[in-house]
Structures are given as structure tokens and as C-alpha cells.
């Protein structure tokens, strides 16, 4: 049997990380077994399933590298097939028409078999439900449009889906769907229901907790590989303490028996730490490209100096613009930091003394700069930071940043002294 999984989003807006994690698990499972990963766009909500919403889904999948193996199936193109299945169920007495409000418009309801049901969930184990707790349900609305349940099952048959891996909010639906599969005489896929993603309080993770949609993470400058890796680990473990893995390693190791049945927490700080690791692994060419996107006029020599200095401090690509003071004299100045650090006359006097010490250096390199600044502080019985902070704010416009001596060395004597004088 060739494994065939599918991701079946309803494109009505942004793609939540819980939905895309389901896509990731389907992709990994299919790749692990040498099978096919498919995409079905459940676009029956014509008001909300706009071309823009569909594009958002496709862009999110492309960014994360979730390639699918056959052309996407759009559910709206299958309507006639859905209605034909409903007619067949009516003809065989497995469905019936019902006019709920006496409007003259009849919906089609599927007749549940009236027997206890159970199925084996590949994550949760045996799931059971008594007949008395399962009611007949609508499969075609009174306006003639098929309902999710019918379309979902018929499309899975059309696509020859062998495994349905989706959120555990669909467990109740699965009993209905299995009954439909049996009624139409089709092979029943195996089901695996994923636990939800929660916040620190154990509640469903949402926008209130921070970035919750794939587009948020992309816009905030995070690495796609980091998000893929982190989401894979919410609910699944390869064993041991392994966390950072290549895509190939995840494909090799991924199995559903290692997916937990309880909810998994999204820890933003832990994800950010993972993202930093991925940034540090990025090739030099990627760093140069990212810096050039922000500073297109930067020359190669300056980039070769600045990138190694900034690299350990960059937590996501959106922080690259903080290095603007290396590339332009028109850089923003933190007014609060300037007032706090350079507002007092004593601080200005220290900056002047530091400027004079730097101006007198025979060699303007990082070790010499460090020694000169420390000497100014030591001669006055001050902490080194008392001298370095006024110089940093004067030269860079901010109170924090990479090593000051190395930064001044990169900027050079003329620019460094000029900025100190300008700030005073």
C-alpha cells in the first residue's frame, strides 16, 4: 500500500500554527513512508475563500517547504460528485430528506446505522461511541449545497487517501465519517488525531499569546526551518534530548507512535532560542543577502567586518536594521538613552576625555581602543561602563549593541571622533 496523506485547509484568512503543524505531520509521515502528500483546498465558503486567502495558504506551504505531489484538488470542483453520492444514499435508503422549518426546502440527512462504533486512532488508541450518542446529520443543506462531512469523505475517496492526520477537534466527526465510508462502500482510511497547541495556561494558543499565524512569523523575520523544526516537536519527540534536526533527519525519524495524545505548549522563548541556532547555521551568503536587502549600498569590505560582529546578537532577520549606524550617518538616536546617559555634564566630560584618548592613539584598532577607554575610567576611579556608555550612545545612538571597541574600530577614527563631537 502506498501511503497517501492530505492537508485540507479551509482558506478563510491567515494560517494558524495548529493547522500548519497538521500539514507538517502529514508531510513527514508521507515522506517517511515513501508515499504522497496531497493538498485539498476546501473552498466551499465562497465569501471567505477568496483568491487572496487561497494564496495565503499556498505561500505558507511554499515558505515552509511543504511541497505536494499532485495538483491541488479544489473542493468546489467536486460538487456534482458530492450530490451524486447523496442521491445514491437516498436511493438506497441510507439518507432521507427533511424540511425542518416547513419552508418547502428539504435538506438531506444521513441516517446513522444505530449501532455502537469504535475505531483505532493511531495516536489516541481505541475510540468508542455508543449508538444513542450519535444522531443523524445533514449532508446536503436545504439550499442544495453539500456539507463538510459529505465532501470530506467523498474527496478522500477520490484522492485515495490512506491516512487522515488532523486535529483532535475532529474526533467526533470521525465517527460520522466512518459511517459514511461504510455506507458508500469505500475503504476507510486510518485516522490519527493530533492534540491541540496551547499556551502557558493550557488554553488554546491564539493571537493574544503572540505570533499565532504562519504569516506572523515570516513577517517578524523568523527562519522557516526553525518554525518547521519547532512545530514538529510540539507533540512529537524523536527520542532522547534531540531538538535541532535537519529536514532529512525528521523524515527518517518521524513516526506516529511517538506523537503524544496530550496538548503541547508553544513556548515563544524556546522557539526564539531555536531560531537563533538556525540563524547561526545559515551560510555566509545568506547573511550577506539579508544585510544587502536592508543596506543595498554597503560595500563588501564593510559587510565582511560588520556581519561577524552583529551575527551573535541577531535573534531574527528583522533585527538587522539595528546595525544602521555602521552604514549611514543618518541613524536614529534613542532620545531617552541620550538624556539618561549624556544628559549630565559629568557624562559629557567623560565623553570628551574618551574622545581625546581615542584621538591620541597611534593605532586605531580594537585592543588599543579598549585599553584607552579603560584607562580613562581607571584614572578616575570609575567603572569601565561609566566611560563606555556615553561613548556608545554618542557614536551609535543606542545604549546597547555589540562590543564597543570593535564597533569603533570598524567605524574608524574619523567617524567615531566626529560622532562624539556631534553628540556633545
The answer to whether residues 43 and 79 touch, using CB atoms and an 8 Å cutoff, is: no
pLDDT band for position 241 (cuts 50, 70, 90): confident
**What are the structural domains of the chain?**
1-71+195-281 (3.40.50.620), 284-326 (no CATH), 335-423 (1.10.10.350)
DSSP-derived secondary structure for 168-189: GGGHHHHHHHHHHHHHHT-PPP
Chain centroid offset of residue 251 CA: 19
Residue-wise pLDDT for 178-229, tens only, equals 999 999 999 999 999 999 999 999 999 988 888 899 999 999 999 999 999 9
Residue-wise pLDDT for 146-165, tens only, equals 999 999 999 999 999 999 99
Please report the pLDDT score of residue 131 as a whole number.
94
pLDDT band for position 50 (cuts 50, 70, 90): confident
Mean pLDDT across 112-133: 96
Residue 88's Cβ-count burial label (10 Å; 0-12, 13-18, 19+) is middle
pLDDT band for position 341 (cuts 50, 70, 90): confident
% of the chain at pLDDT higher than 90: 89
pLDDT at 337 over 80: yes
Q: Structure pTM?
A: 0.91
The answer to whether residues 25 and 194 touch, using CB atoms and an 8 Å cutoff, is: yes
Residue-wise pLDDT for 410-420, tens only, equals 999 999 999 99
pLDDT at 93 over 80: yes
Assign 3-state DSSP to the chain and report helix, strand, coil percentages, each to 5: 55, 15, 35
pLDDT at 46 over 80: no
Q: Give the mean pLDDT of the chain.
A: 94
Amino acid at each position: 500500500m502506498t501511503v497517501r496523506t492530505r492537508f485540507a485547509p479551509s482558506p478563510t484568512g491567515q494560517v494558524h500554527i495548529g493547522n500548519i503543524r497538521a500539514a507538517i505531520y502529514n508531510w513527514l509521515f508521507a515522506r517517511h513512508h515513501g508515499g504522497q502528500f496531497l493538498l485539498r483546498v476546501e473552498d466551499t465558503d465562497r465569501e471567505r475563500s477568496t483568491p487572496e486567502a487561497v494564496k495565503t495558504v499556498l505561500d505558507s506551504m511554499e515558505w515552509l517547504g511543504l511541497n505536494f505531489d499532485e495538483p491541488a484538488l479544489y473542493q468546489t470542483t467536486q460538487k456534482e460528485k458530492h450530490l451524486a453520492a447523496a442521491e445514491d444514499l437516498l436511493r438506497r435508503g441510507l439518507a432521507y430528506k427533511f424540511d425542518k422549518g416547513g419552508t418547502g426546502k428539504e435538506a438531506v440527512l444521513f441516517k446513522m446505522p444505530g449501532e455502537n462504533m469504535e475505531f483505532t486512532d493511531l495516536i489516541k488508541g481505541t475510540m468508542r461511541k455508543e449508538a444513542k450518542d450519535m444522531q443523524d446529520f445533514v449532508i446536503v443543506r436545504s439550499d442544495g449545497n453539500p456539507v463538510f462531512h459529505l465532501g470530506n469523505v467523498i474527496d478522500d475517496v477520490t484522492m485515495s487517501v490512506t491516512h487522515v492526520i488532523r486535529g483532535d477537534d475532529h474526533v467526533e466527526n470521525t465517527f460520522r465519517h466512518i459511517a459514511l465510508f461504510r455506507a458508500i462502500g469505500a475503504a476507510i482510511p486510518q485516522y490519527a488525531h493530533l492534540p491541540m497547541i496551547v499556551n502557558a495556561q493550557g488554553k488554546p494558543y491564539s493571537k493574544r499569546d503572540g505570533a499565532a499565524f504562519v504569516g506572523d512569523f515570516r513577517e517578524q523575520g523568523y527562519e522557516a526551518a526553525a518554525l518547521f523544526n519547532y512545530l514538529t516537536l510540539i507533540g512529537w519527540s524523536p527520542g532522547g534530548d534531540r531538538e535541532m534536526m535537519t529536514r532529512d533527519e525528521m523524515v527518517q525519524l518521524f513516526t506516529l507512535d511517538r506523537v503524544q495524545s496530550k496538548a503541547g505548549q508553544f513556548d515563544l522563548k524556546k522557539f526564539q532560542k531555536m531560531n537563533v541556532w538556525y540563524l547561526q547555521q545559515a551560510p555566509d551568503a545568506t547573511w550577506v543577502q539579508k544585510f544587502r536587502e536592508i543596506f543595498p549600498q554597503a560595500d563588501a569590505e564593510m559587510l565582511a567586518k560588520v556581519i561577524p560582529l552583529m551575527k551573535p546578537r541577531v535573534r531574527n532577520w528583522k533585527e538587522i536594521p539595528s546595525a544602521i549606524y555602521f552604514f549611514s550617518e543618518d541613524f536614529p538616536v534613542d532620545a531617552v538613552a541620550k538624556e539618561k546617559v549624556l544628559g549630565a555634564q559629568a557624562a559629557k566630560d567623560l565623553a570628551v576625555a574618551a574622545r581625546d584618548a581615542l584621538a591620541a592613539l597611534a593605532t586605531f584598532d580594537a585592543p588599543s581602543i579598549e585599553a584607552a577607554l579603560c584607562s580613562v575610567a581607571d584614572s578616575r576611579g570609575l567603572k569601565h561602563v561609566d566611560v563606555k556608555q556615553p561613548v556608545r550612545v554618542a557614536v551609535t545612538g543606542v545604549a546597547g549593541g555589540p562590543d564597543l571597541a570593535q564597533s569603533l574600530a570598524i567605524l574608524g577614527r574619523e567617524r567615531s571622533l566626529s560622532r562624539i563631537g556631534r553628540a556633545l
